[in-house]
Structure 1
Amino acid sequence: MEVQEYLRYRKDLLVLAQDDDSFISETSFIDAVLPSMLDAKLIDSEEWNDTGFLSETEKLKVNGYLINESEERLQLIILNESSIDIKVSNAELQISQKVYYETQFARTTRFLKKAMNGHLNESLQDSDPVNALVAHLSSSEGADQFDVVDIFLISATATVETRGSIPQPKGLEFENENLTVTYTKDRQRLSKEILIVRRLIDLNFLYDILISQGNREVLTVNFESIFDSPIKAIKAANEQNFESYLCVLPALHLAELYKLHSTRLLEKNVRSFLDFKNEANKGMFTTLRKDPAKFIAFNNGLTITSTLSDTFESGGLTLIRSLTDFQIVNGGQTTAAIYFARKSGIDISKVFVTAKINVVSEAAEDELNKFIKEISLYSNTQTKVTTVDLDSQNPQLVKLKAMTASVVTPSGKKWFFDRAKGEFNTMKRKSGNKTKIEKDYPDERRFSKEQLGKYYSSWGDQPYMVKKGGIKVFKYFITAICGDGDKKKGVIVDRNFYEELIAKMILFNKLEKVYGAGKNSIGQLRSAVVPYSISILYRFTDGSKSGSSFDLTKIWVKEGLEDDLTLYLEDMMKLVNELLKKYSDSDDVGENTRKKELWDKVSECREIAAFMATSNSLKIIKKYSISNEERKKRNARNSKLAEVDFKLLKDNIEIYTNGIGFYDNVLTGYGRSLTVAEMNKLGIIKSSISNLENIKEAHVDFERELIRRIRTEAPEVFDRMVNNEMVFWQQIFDFIVQIYNNAVSEGEDVGAAFNRVQEFAKSKAVKYPSVFGQIGELLKNGDTPTVKQVWYASHILALKEHTSLATQS
């Protein structure tokens, strides 16, 4: 059944990759997959460079590439094009032979070798998108820059074992390869080996990331395999579920680990390595170069966490063969400094670093995160550390999720925040009415944490940060809304914030569509042109000293852009597209857009000054601006009302919509996997549904985790579900939320709005009309109605007029 889940998920991915004409391009499918690779921390950013290179005669192919944050790692992408063909049968999508994938990998490996040997330069046109990459790879600068090349083969196929009657999932690993290159540096002829790492991104991998709710792929470091010997250590603590070891690591080991795994070693490190610009990093570099033997004395050392260790005792020491879920949580700058010092030619053979290894067994992801945060707070640090929650449990993200339940657009639509990856997909999987869910929440009204960071950060003066994407822009976003715990305060996540945030998303998405993709697009720099153009708009409105701001509320109210604004921004994007190419100091314009220097040149150039001084620019800015004073007054009016948090009620409504029959089927199909305590909790949920009682948050959380477990361990349970959803629960909930939002948007007393519904219900002889007055009073005071009150209110659904009543209230 698991293989069938993979194939079912493939259909979801294909739908996600469709354009407005239902066409699926290779580029759009890669766009759909990269966020999962980012979740797994295989890449630092989902912003990739599309090359679209294919040579049938020479059997060469590369769809695109990325360069990691520290720029020593090239990551090539190839898509198995036959795997996204909608005509391919399920049987053909089940791959059991490794050679099938080897053939695909070979196309990109051949491309890499030919490019580095200079055998492709003359066969390409200057306008070919792959030209900049080929030119760089064939140069001495490229050979010197890259130490590792990852080749990611994306294939919408299920990798299976076919020994039994039913195909079972299996994993495949592909051997690394070394490519010897020679190049010139500082007038010297040098030679080195570039490591080629091949990684399959199949449906098995993508589905596992989905059901793990976006948790990173666990990194296991096997010291015996890499260094031919275990690590010698002293056991410092041995408690239940916790062990601690002290050891001394050779710098050569750390450099090799960084080469193999790069920033994956530092996923949970609270700081990122910023070459040698700050004083601590400059000091490390100086010591490594001038006094390497004393580095161990001057440096604070590393703190490493793991969730499982493979050890044995010998001669009074503990020898560590391997560590599972290996993370350097303190000392990431030290590790990277050592790697780049060796890369620059410094001899690190005499350098050693102390390390403390903490093994926390049987720890859930959130428990491990908490432990690491405490390490960051209490450890001696060389520079100030700012700690923010980067996971989905961040309080500001929780508030934002609640806003999606309580705030609807002027036309009554809702947005879906996929706070923990896979929430939307799981909601669809368990539902008996997938079509309705997709209609209620189309792709353009759904967003993930990573998209959230990009959309929010685009409205500002740092488009190069948006272009970097990934964890970099998400950290910037989280720090912006949470504050830094010192001088910078966080933002208030309320209705004003939410409406402007959605407006920024609408703006960003609209400009992406206007720019286009493929042959009919403005160019090949969409991922840069869109944020650069938005930043120029910001720079001449909110970012100016005019005393006015761009009125994002106009976009929120219209739920789109006016025609004149769309045409104006299209002209701006055409100009920006040319300016990026003109002012880039690199042939690889896409990569250069990640640099602040390019933004400074473009934003301050005479062409932009002239464009913004035109009569049309002045007219557009005047039309869509609002004075800062008026904006403050409007926001203050919206903030007077105590914002209602509908989230727990919405969660209750979702459980009630499932109905008792749903949970009876859960017991039938999955009951043997439940403990007695879990059976009791499920019984309480069923009892609550029977008695119209509110379900407590703890039991809501249990139900959500239970559904996730079923999705992971026994998804076939959902296939046996009969569609008996009690849809009226969702309908009356939406009705109540709509009336509430209409009143808030119009500045009307919420109680009065619901009293009007009460009088209407009474005039139509609807049962229990007084409940609307009760609900209005609760919402007016910032409280939510009970489930029982919602049930009483549902009797109004019998009236056909209830829909128009909600929009007119």
Structure 2
Amino acid sequence: MSENEELQAYARNIQQDVIARADAAEDGALRAEAFTELMIECLAEASEIDDGTPCDFEGRGMRCSGYYVSEDNDRLDLFLSLPRLDGMAASVPKSEIDTAFKRLSTFLAKALAGLHKGMEEALDRYDMCRSIWDARNDLSHVRLFVITDGLATIDRIENEMVGGIEVSSHLWDLKRLQRADSSGSSREPIRIDFAKVSARPIRCIVSSPPDSGYRCLLTMLPGDLLVELYRQFGPRLLERNVRSFLQLKGKVNQGIRKTIIDEPQMFLAFNNGLSVTAAGLTIRDNGDGTADLLAADDFQIVNGGQTTGSIFRASRKDKADASRLQVPVKITEILSDGDIEDIAPRISQSANNQNKVNMADFSSNHPFHRAMQALSRSVWAPAAAGAQRQTRWFFERARGQYHDALAQNRTPTERKAWEAIHPRRQLVTKTDLAKYEQSWSQLPQIVSRHGQKCYLDFMDRLEKRGSFIPDEAYFRHAMARAILFKQTERIVSRHKFGGYRANVVTYAIAWLSHHTAKRIDFDSIWSAQDISPALAAFLEILTIHAHDHVATPPGGQNVTEWCKKDACWEGFRDFALAIPAALEAELVTRERVNGSASAHALEEHASADEAELIARVSAVSAETWFGLSAWAKDTQTLQSWQRGLSFSLGKLARAGRAPTRRQAVQGEAIIIEARSLGFKG
């Protein structure tokens, strides 16, 4: 296949992916918004950005399609989408690209000047503009991204300073996206020519342990060189760093900043430095055990992200003289016989001793993802109502796997037959799965932090559970939760609230999980490949209340930030809404939820802390649980499911059996609540 044919195939894939997403939301999500969402996921997977939120705004001479503000308000990314969605690898006029950057730049200027003040607060574009305004005094770098599924070229746009903020421009066209968006090469490697960025040679000590698959260089880099590297490449330098989201709120970061500003001469003594990996180094051997580092391919900081970000910020915002800093650096070159996907995370884990990190292998090679992929290739889904053909839910553990598998079918007839079995609407990425599972685990405030952060939190919780390999029962239930989530998205889209769909969906599902004690019949959803009419009707009502809650934060807070807070979830979790009898009749028993069908579910694996919780709940006597259940019934102070669970815990205690992790979590919460309401047991 020629390069042009490959690009056309990729353009068609984008077109069909967007159509599948937009159709999933019926007419509530425009294809342009679905395109922006897809492109943000692609750039995040390629480690070009941390994350992003689609949000379309258009005004006189300005336009924006989405945004991302870093946790510490230091970095802002703005996106403008130019979707063609014609399935062709056609050229986009240079004038259109130039205009797009100008409109995005104008939007930035207006937002920094207070554009939100003239907007209706209930709209998500108000949140976007207000977030930019709130960050205006902390920003040091803004990146403008113009993204198109056409072919485009543009002259280099030099960075500019806007009121002390460095603004850089980045064009992503079809060819660049196609290079990044594949399972085999998910990122653009960084090549650094040190002769061009450093005024003097980078002298190193070289060590090559035999049969190790790597060699190490030990050196010192001046702080101003790190500032320049971070200016050019930003978060891409840190793409394998488990702390890629830089924050200056922790004690370690504040200490780094204080040293940089007040005692730069002590930085070398106080700081542990950086650990870097590279796939290829060009050096000049000096013949005495030292060498000059000339260039590096695939240069990545796997430990030291806080140090790098702190030096950059201090240089930009505090006007610190970074040239006075000497930063110790260990560069590990992964040789041809070494495995960078295995070695780099282990270097990060071992080198990381500044902050405690709950290390998880966030890569697609994690055993959990491998097992989910294997299940998705073997488990058949029942034929949906009115259909004769069985299908499969395709789990994509690495971006591009779906397209790669589709491309293996050479003829249009073969591709059509393969897509009939693996419809795009049944594609689930690992970030999608995290969103579905975290919603059902009653963590909507985590889901509201968007794709990458939700995914990292999910993986961290998975790691804390201990080893867990999903089985077919877990896979079926997980895909049933995907169906529940997607159908809830459709319902919210029909309401046309005008924004915050993602927040409304996760909050509604979390409420449903809590108030039904997780007794939704996922076996039935899997069998029907749809939710029941009773559940759909209730979600029509529940999502309205969820929207009213998230869109009206107390004290005029930013809605997006409000949705990320525990207080937001706690407030909606306690919202009272009667579950209709028709839906109540469909709920499964607690024994079935806690029985064999869910015995191997992810959330039933207890961590060490949860094992202690189970022991505490097990120590509560049967008489106490029975007494609590009777007291709650007499006083009508707890929900019916809480009374029922108390009685069930009493039976377990009487039989000398331990509760499950979930029962223990809910049981302890029940007894704390009951005692706060006057229960004396």
Structure 1-normalised TM-score?
0.65
Q: Does 1:216 align with 2:187?
A: yes
Cα deviation, 1:81-130, whole Å, max 9, x if unaligned, reads 5x3357xxx58x235x7555223322212332344355x56876666653
1:561 counterpart SS class: coil
Q: Pick closer, same or farther for the CA change 1:66–1:502 going to 2, 3 Å.
A: same
User: Counterpart of 2:391?
Assistant: 413
Deviation at residue 315 of structure 1 after TM alignment: 11
Alignment match of 2:125 (pick from 115, 127, 130): 130
Distance 1:343 1:500 in 2: 49
Q: Deviations over 1:202-241 (max 9, x none)?
A: 1102222234545222123344444555534333448797
Change over 3 Å in CA distance of 1:637–1:217 after alignment to 2: closer
Which residues of 2 match residues 139-538 of structure 1 at below 5 A?
Answer: 139=133, 141-159=134-152, 174-181=156-163, 192=164, 194-213=165-184, 215-226=186-197, 228-237=199-208, 242-272=214-244, 275=247, 280-281=252-253, 283-285=255-257, 287-288=259-260, 291-312=263-284, 318-342=291-315, 345=318, 347=320, 349=322, 350-362=324-336, 367-379=339-351, 381-411=353-383, 412-431=390-409, 432=411, 433-481=414-462, 483-484=463-464, 488-516=465-493, 521-538=496-513
In the alignment, which of 45, 48, 51 is matched to residue 39 of structure 1? 45
Structure 1 CA distance for aligned equivalents of residues 599 and 432 of structure 2:
30
Question: What SS does the corresponding residue of 1:534 show, helix, strand or coil?
Answer: helix
Shift of 1:477: 2.6
CA shift, 1:286, in A, is 5.1
The 1-side partners of 2:490 and 2:17 are apart by 15
What is the rounded CA distance, in whole Å, between the counterparts of 1:312 and 1:136 in structure 2?
A: 48
Change (3 A) 1:347 1:33: closer
Cα distance, 1:289 vs. partner?
A: 5.5
Task: Give, in whole Å, the separation in 2 of the partners of 1:230 and 1:121.
Answer: 49
Distance in 2 separating the partners of 1:619 and 1:589? 33
1:94 aligns with 2:91: yes
Q: CA deviation at 1:471?
A: 3.2
Aligned residue among 539, 549, 560 for 2:514? 539
Offset at residue 496 of structure 1 (A) = 2.1
Using the TM superposition, give the Cα deviation of residue 463 of structure 1 relative to its aligned residue in structure 2, in angstroms.
1.7
Asked whether the 8 Å contact 1:462–1:535 carries over to 2, the reply is yes
Distance in 2 of aligned mates of 1:399 and 1:315: 50
RMSD after superposition: 3.4
Task: Say which SS state the counterpart of residue 470 (structure 2) adopts.
Answer: coil
Contact 1:579-1:602 within 8 A present in 2 as well: no
Aligned to 1:727: none
Residue identity opposite 2:333 in structure 1: V
Give the letter aligned to residue 267 of structure 1: E
* C-alpha distance 418-374 of structure 1, shift in aligned 2 (>3 A): closer
Contact map agreement 1:210 1:421 (CA 8 A) in 2: yes
In 1, Cα distance between the equivalents of 2:598 and 2:170? 53
2:68 corresponds to which letter in structure 1? L
Structure-2 residue corresponding to 1:792: none
* 1:590 and 2:560 correspond: yes
- Give the Å deviation of 1:3: 1.8
- Structure scoring higher RCO (CA < 8 A, sep ≥ 6) equals 2
Residue deviations 1:630-678 (CA, integer Å, cap 9, x gap): 3333428999xxxxxxxxxxxxxxxxxxxxxxxxxxxxxxxxxxxxxxx
Q: Is the 8 A contact 1:17 1:24 kept in 2?
A: no
Distance 1:246 1:64, change over 3 A: same
Give the stretch that moved more between structures: 406-415 or 621-630: 621-630
Partners of 1:149 and 1:498 lie apart in 2 by 41
Cα deviation digits, residues 26-74 of structure 1 (max 9, x gap)? 11222232222122112222x514133143xx3x222222224553222
Q: Deviations over 1:110-168 (max 9, x none)?
A: 332344355x568766666534444554x5x4321222222111112124xxxxxxxxx
Pick closer, same or farther for the CA change 1:623–1:339 going to 2, 3 Å: farther
* CA deviation map 1:599-657 (0-9, x unaligned): 4234325xx63433x3xx26477435434433333428999xxxxxxxxxxxxxxxxxx
Rg (Cα) greater in structure: 1
Whichever residue aligns with residue 174 of structure 2, its letter is L
Question: Which moves more between the two structures, 210-219 or 221-230?
Answer: 221-230
Distance across 1 between alignment mates of 2:259 and 2:589: 54
Cα distance in structure 2, aligned partners of 1:52 and 1:581: 18
Residue segments in structure 1 that go unaligned for 5+ positions in a row: 160-170, 182-191, 543-547, 640-809
Deviation of 1:324 after TM superposition, in Å, equals: 1.9
TM-score under structure 2 length normalisation: 0.76
Is the Cα contact below 8 Å between 2:74 and 2:135 reproduced in 1?
A: no
Secondary structure at 1:582 match in 2: coil
1:104 aligns with 2:123: no
Give how far 1:590 is off. 2.9
Per-residue CA distance 1:253-280 (angstroms, 9 max, x = gap): 3344445434322221234556356554
What is the DSSP-based 3-state SS (H/G/I as helix, E as strand, rest coil) of the residue aligned with 1:74? strand
Distance of 1:403 and 1:339 partners within structure 2:
45
Contact 2:71 2:246 survives alignment (8 Å): no
SS of 1:199's equivalent?
strand
Q: Structure 1 residue 513: deviation in Å?
A: 1.0
Q: Distance in 2 between matches of 1:318 and 1:448?
A: 44
* Preserved contact between residue 533 and residue 576 of structure 1 (Cα < 8 Å): yes
Distance 1:131 1:223, change over 3 A: farther
Per-residue CA deviations over 1:150-188 (Å, capped at 9, x if unaligned) read: 2111112124xxxxxxxxxxx76632321332xxxxxxx
In the superposition, relative to structure 1, how do residues 386 and 114 fare at CA in structure 2: closer, same or farther (>3 Å)? closer
Cα pair distance change 1:296/1:50, threshold 3 Å: same
Whole-Å Cα distance in 2 between the matches of residues 220 and 585 of structure 1? 48
Name which of 52, 58, 61 aligns with 2:57.
52
Identify the residue that residue 72 of structure 1 maps to in structure 2.
74
For the 8 Å contact 1:288–1:346, the answer to whether it is kept is no
Q: 580-589 or 561-570, which moves further after superposition?
A: 580-589
Q: Provide Cα deviations, 1:540-588, integer angstroms capped at 9, x if missing partner.
A: 344xxxxx64443332233211122112122222122122222166664
Q: Which amino acid aligns with 1:611?
A: A
Supply the distance in 1 between the matched residues of 2:244 and 2:599 (Cα, whole angstroms).
41
Q: How does 1:592-741 map to 2 (within 5 A)?
A: 592-593=562-563, 595-596=564-565, 599-604=566-571, 609-612=574-577, 614=578, 617=579, 619=581, 622-635=584-597
CA distance in 2 between partners of 1:98 and 1:361 (Å): 41
Structure 2 letter corresponding to 1:152 = F
- Is 1:580 equivalent to 2:550 in the alignment? yes
Q: Distance in 2 between matches of 1:258 and 1:230?
A: 19
2:550 aligned counterpart, secondary structure: helix
* C-alpha separation in 2, matches of 1:103 and 1:496: 52
Aligned partner of residue 395 in structure 2, secondary structure: strand
Cα distance in 2 for partners of 1:637, 1:369 equals: 33
Q: Which amino acid aligns with 1:331?
A: G
**AA at the equivalent of 1:463:** P
Residue 74 of structure 1 aligns to which amino acid in structure 2?
L
| Change in 2 beyond 3 A, CA 1:129/1:635 | closer
> Structure 1 residues 101-110 or 216-225, which shifts more?
216-225
Retained in 1: the 8 A contact 2:36–2:66? no
